[in-house]
């Protein structure tokens, strides 16, 4: 599992003209999934994101997590995170998990993040043409791959 985590002061997801997710302060998480991902990847990545200390404390130091900052989160499926650009100019997405594998893993990740945060997490819609808007706060953008946890 690969996640691009962006600290935002505002983020939203719109599908076919309808805003389906909207937060102020928090994290926008773009999530890529491969067929080899497991429950272990879900738990590890969710805990890492929930506890990542990238919010400023009273002293202006990035020392606070999403949990302690009481921010919100949006998780958006993003199969293009596993694009291969080694050959030619057209990316290959062969590494990305097919929907029959990816959807249950995506839903399990969202559920695990809700458990870790102790609140509901907003989402886009798997496979939909989404318009994602955000104001990246900082900017702070972190990329985490569950296969590189050691």
CATH (domain of 36): 3.50.80.10
Cβ-proximal residues to 40 (8 Å cutoff; 6+ apart), any chain:
none
Work out whether the CA dihedral 46, 103, 5, 87 comes out positive or negative. Answer: positive
DSSP state of 98: P
pLDDT tens figures, 1-46? 999 999 999 999 999 999 999 999 999 999 999 999 999 999 999 9
Q: Is 90 exceeded by the pLDDT of residue 136?
A: yes
- In the predicted structure, residue 109 carries a pLDDT above the cut 80: yes
Locate 101 and state its tokens: 């594998």
Can you give the pLDDT at residue 1? 97
Write out the residue range of the structural domain in which residue 112 sits: 2-148
Predicted model pTM? 0.95
Q: What is the pLDDT of residue 76?
A: 98
Instruction: Annotate 93-125 with b (16+ C-beta within 10 A) or e (fewer).
Output: eebbbeeeebeebbebbbebbbebbeeebbbbe
Determine the pLDDT at residue 70: 87
Structure tokens, 66: 């999403």
Number of structural domains (the chain) is: 1
Compute how many other C-beta atoms are within 10 angstroms of the C-beta atom of residue 132: 16
- In the block, tokens 């076919």 appear at 16
Give residue-wise pLDDT tens across range 35-81: 999 999 999 999 999 999 999 999 999 999 999 998 999 999 999 99
> Three-class SS of residue 13?
strand
In this prediction, residue 77 carries a pLDDT of: 97
Active site residues: 78-80
**pLDDT at 93 (0 to 100):** 94
Using CA atoms, how far residue 108 sits from 9, 63, 75, 102, in Å, is 26, 28, 12, 10
pLDDT band at 86 (very low <50, low <70, confident <90, very high): very high
């Amino acid at each position: 599992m690969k996640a691009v985590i962006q600290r935002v002061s505002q983020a939203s997801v719109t599908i076919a003209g309808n805003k389906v997710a909207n937060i102020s302060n928090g994290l926008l998480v773009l999530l890529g999934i491969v067929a080899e991902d497991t429950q272990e990847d879900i738990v590890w990545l969710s805990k890492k994101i929930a506890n990542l200390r990238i919010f400023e404390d009273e002293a202006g130091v990035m020392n606070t997590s999403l949990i302690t900052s009481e921010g919100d989160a949006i998780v958006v499926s993003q199969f293009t995170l596993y694009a291969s650009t080694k050959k030619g100019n057209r990316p290959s997405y062969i590494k990305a998990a097919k929907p029959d594998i990816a959807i249950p893993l995506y839903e399990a990740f969202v559920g695990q993040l809700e458990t870790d945060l102790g609140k509901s997490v907003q989402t886009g819609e798997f496979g939909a043409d989404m318009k994602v808007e955000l104001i990246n706060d900082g900017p702070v953008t972190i990329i985490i791959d569950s296969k590189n946890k050691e």
